[in-house]
Amino acid sequence: MALRLNPNFSLAQGYYGLALSYCGHWEEANVAACRALRLSPRDPFSAVYNGIAAYAQFSGRNYDEAIRLSREGIRQRSDFVGAHRVLTAAAGMAGQTDIARVALQELRRAQPNISLAWIASQMPIKPEADREHYLEGFRRAGLD
């Protein structure tokens, strides 16, 4: 509804992208997150938009881009756990073990309760194959 009222509302674009990414529509999610960044590049939520775009790229198996976008989100807001999570999983899937290990360490600092069980039960990722893909990234990074 918010986007119908104002398609230039960056926050609505960003969170629309998040909903799309959690439903398995990574390309559309990326478009929405990038649109949010273009609409409001100095927005206080731009770290979140980068994190949403990073997760979309992760879902599309574009791990290098997911890593880049995650790092940008973390640069803007060092405590942003969403970006730390995507960085960890993307580095794990990309086989970049040094980056994955450091990213997991930082993720544990930012979210001490992080575990595979927490991700599986608390992240509303559908379809199941996307959730398993995300969990596999964390397994490869060393999360149990």
Q: Is residue 3 included in any domain, yes or no?
A: no
Q: Is the pTM of this model over 0.75?
A: yes
Verify cis geometry, omega within 30 degrees of 0, for the bond prior to 127: yes
Report pLDDT digits (tens) over 91-144: 999 999 999 999 999 999 999 999 999 999 999 999 999 999 999 999 999 999
CATH number of the CATH domain containing 92: 1.25.40.10
CA distance 46 to 40: 8
CA distances from 69 to 118, 134, 141 (A): 24, 16, 18
Per-residue pLDDT, averaged over 63-68, amounts to: 98
Report pLDDT digits (tens) over 75-90: 999 999 999 999 999 9
Range of the domain at 110: 8-141
- How many percent of the chain have pLDDT more than 90? 91
Count structural domains, the chain: 1
Task: Return the CA Rg of the chain.
Answer: 14
CA distance 23 to 47: 21
Q: pLDDT grade, residue 1 (50/70/90)? A: low
Q: Is residue 127 included in any domain, yes or no?
A: yes
